[in-house]
Structure 1
Amino acid sequence: MYHIDEVIITPKAVVLLTSLAVLVAVVIVVVISVGKKPVHHSVTLTWHPPTPVKGVKVVSYNVYRSVAPGGPYVRIASDVTSPLHHDTLVNNTRTYYYVVTALDAAGHESGYSAETHAKIP
């Protein structure tokens, strides 16, 4: 499935670096606020683009999220042109599960990547 390569914990962030079949890295960014302002959380997903197969290149990605392992997944971003997505619509104390798909120029969508997850503090 996935492997946690490194965990970095600082007063302002928890970073989980994972490697997957499509190599998705999850970075949980916690912005600490002072006073009565709420703490804002977000998840940053990054991955390595797949190698072209038989000359077919990836032109964009779709990012999917679920609140349960294994899905069902809901597309939260489409036509992402770089291997990076920031999910800013996350709630405290929830765990989110993510997969990514790749699309070619003809609009053919790959299957899901391996799943990774982020636990929001």
Structure 2
Amino acid sequence: MDPQIKIERWAREALPKNRPKRILIGNNALINRRTYLSLEQLSIHMHIVGSSGMGKTFLLEHLVKTLIDLKVGVCVIDPHGDLYQRLLKYVVRKRLERKVILFDPNDREWAVGLNYLEYDDE
């Protein structure tokens, strides 16, 4: 290992005991009922489909902000950059910027390996 690379081991924070088991994602107008996703459902693959302007990015932003507030780790890959910018402002407002790892896949000097399919349920 390169001695110039600084490795930080972060201590895991205790999760709130009263953390909700589900997240409100919106209202189902057909049955006039709120719609939720459980944290378990959010830990598996998700596919969000919709036409331009239908709220896909808004939904993702809401989910990520809620997960951040619940102290659940997230990985956001944003090819456009608008969601990333809004989330970064949110993280700074929450004073969590030291817990964020940003990487640019185009930066060959600081290449990062990422297995976004790996899941640790601890």
Give the helix-richer structure, 1 or 2: 2
User: Please, what TM-score do these two structures have when normalized by structure 1?
Assistant: 0.21
User: Please, what TM-score do these two structures have when normalized by structure 2?
Assistant: 0.21
Higher relative contact order (CA 8 A, sep 6+): 1
**Higher CA-based Rg:** 2
